[in-house]
Amino acid sequence: MDKTLVIMAAGMGSRYGGLKQVDPVGPGGSIIIDYSIYDAVKAGFNKVVFIIKKENEQIFREVVGDKVSEHVKVEYVFQSLDAVPQGFKVPEGRVKPWGTAHAVLCCKGVVNEPFVVINADDFYGRGCFKALGEWIDRTDFSAVPQPFAMAGFYLKNTLTENGTVSRGVCEVSPEGFLTDVVERTKIIRRDDGQIAYTEDGENWTALPENSYVSMNCWALPASFIDQLDAYFADFLRDEVPNNPLKAEVYLPFVIRDMLDKKACTVEVLETTDKWFGVTYAEDKPQVVASVRALIDAGVYPERLW
C-alpha cells in the first residue's frame, strides 16, 4: 500500500533560537529529518511531504530534499498565515502560525493516501516507523468509525535534561486503544528522580514513568485532511476572536474531539525507542552523541544517502 511521511517543519524553534530543523547532528551534515526519512523508507514509505514556510524552501531543498529525492518521492507544502477559508481574514498584527492541525490541512490535494505525520525536530526511532507502516498495510480504511493509530512512547524515554517538556499524556484502554490525551506543558524529572508536572510552577504532581505519551506521531487516512476544513473554520469562528494573535488549533485536540464524538478509534502502538530532539540549544551535544552511538552500534551507516 502507498504510504506517505508528512514532516511538519514550518515552525522556527523559539526556545531553541533558530531554524533547528536543518541543524546537523550526524556525519556529512545529516540532520534529524534525514534519520526519520531513512527509517521511514526502510519501513516501506514511498513519499515524503515537507510542510515548510515558503521562504525556507531553498534551504530545505539544499540541506535535505535534493538528497533524499534520489531515494523517495519528495513534495513540498507551504503553511502560510493567509491560508484561511473564504469569509475569514487574518487578525491585524497576527504573525504566529495557526498550529499543527492547520499545517496538515495545508497538505490537501497533495497527500491522497494513508500517511504518518511527525515533527521535524524529533528523533523517533526505527521501531516507530516500522510499527506504523505495518499498521497502515493491515488496516481497512473503509471501516467505521475511522481507524487512526499513534506511536505510544514511554514518558521516561521522552525527557530532556535541560528543562521542561510538553507531552500529551495518554489514557489507553486494556485493548490498546486511546481513550483520552491530556496535555501537560511542564514535565520534568526532578532532582529526587521522580517524573512530575506542574501547572503553576509550584505544586508538582507525579506521573508514572511508563505512562504512554503522544509525540505527535500519528497514522491517519487521507480523508482526515478533508475533515480538518470544518475544524479549522470552527476554530477561526469560535476561538480566534478571544485570542486573535496567539490561538492555535492542534492536531491532538482535533483527534481527541473526534474520539469524544466516536468518529474515530486510535490504536496505540507501543514503541520502546528512546526519543531525542533539540527542544533547547543545550540538547544538541546529547543528540549528536546519541546519533554517534547508534552509528557505532550499526543501526545507521556512517553516511545515510
pLDDT at 274 over 80: yes
pLDDT at 18 over 70: no
pLDDT interval class at 62 (50, 70, 90): confident
pLDDT at 23 over 60: yes
pLDDT at 142 over 90: yes
pLDDT at 16 over 70: no
> Going from the N-terminus, what domains does the chain have, and what CATH number goes with each?
4-296 (3.90.550.10)
pLDDT at 206 over 60: yes
pLDDT interval class at 17 (50, 70, 90): very low
> What distance in Å separates the CA atoms of residue 90 and residue 13, rounded to the nearest whole number?
22
pLDDT at residue 123, rounded to an integer: 94
Task: Write down the pTM of the prediction.
Answer: 0.92
pLDDT at 296 over 50: yes
pLDDT at residue 21, rounded to an integer: 60
pLDDT at 265 over 50: yes
Q: Which of 14-18, 105-109, 139-143, 282-286 bottoms out in mean pLDDT, i.e. has the lowest?
A: 14-18
Average pLDDT over the chain, rounded to an integer: 92
The CA-based angle 39-45-51, given to 5 degrees, is: 85
pLDDT at residue 20, rounded to an integer: 54
